[in-house]
Amino acid sequence: MSPFEADLGYVPYMPDDVASDPEFTKLVKAAQEFLLRQETLLKVAQDCMSEAQERMKYYYDKNRLGQNFEVNDMVLLDGKNLDIRRKGYAQSKKLAPRYIGPFPVLKKISKDSYELGLSKGLKLHPVFHTSLLKPYRKDPKRRQQVNKVVLADGTEGQLVEAVIGHRKYKGQPQYKI
């Protein structure tokens, strides 16, 4: 249903509808010229719109990164649109990490969308556009920080490989990891 039909309750005549009408030959010459002029204007407008669409596509695709990820590739997720302060990363958006992850790619949804294997504590929809993803490159020279992680139940914790020692200091337990 077109806006015109919703407003006035009927479908307007288009130049093609009137021109295909058998009574078109009975119309006055001025009316025939008007209909032909309207029909050519409609075709010119459609051609201009398709040219503009092709031009916009060219300039958009010129600066677009064509990223393709395979299943089980590790990717980082851009945190610019996420409110990760509640997710256990930082109290300030300014100090929050720019990218979170890495997360594995579970499947390719469409040409530009991928489903990620997010931890349950993040409580995010797992499908993201490629513009929000960045390939994860592991650097063996970089020391891995022990960051706080969000556990499955939504609480904050740390991953611990082994407890080497422990003691009580001022009544509080301390652990050497």
How do the domains of the chain map onto residue ranges?
Answer: 3-62, 74-176
Asked whether 150 and 88 are in contact (CB, 8 A), the reply is yes
- Distance CA(26)–CA(5), nearest Å, equals 28
The structure's pTM equals 0.52
Taking CA 126 as the corner, what is the angle to CA 105 and CA 84, rounded to the nearest 5 degrees? 110
At residue 101, the pLDDT reads 83
Backbone dihedral angles phi then psi of residue 164, each to the nearest 5 degrees: -85, -40
pLDDT tens digits for range 5-48: 767 777 777 767 766 766 666 667 787 888 888 888 889 999 99
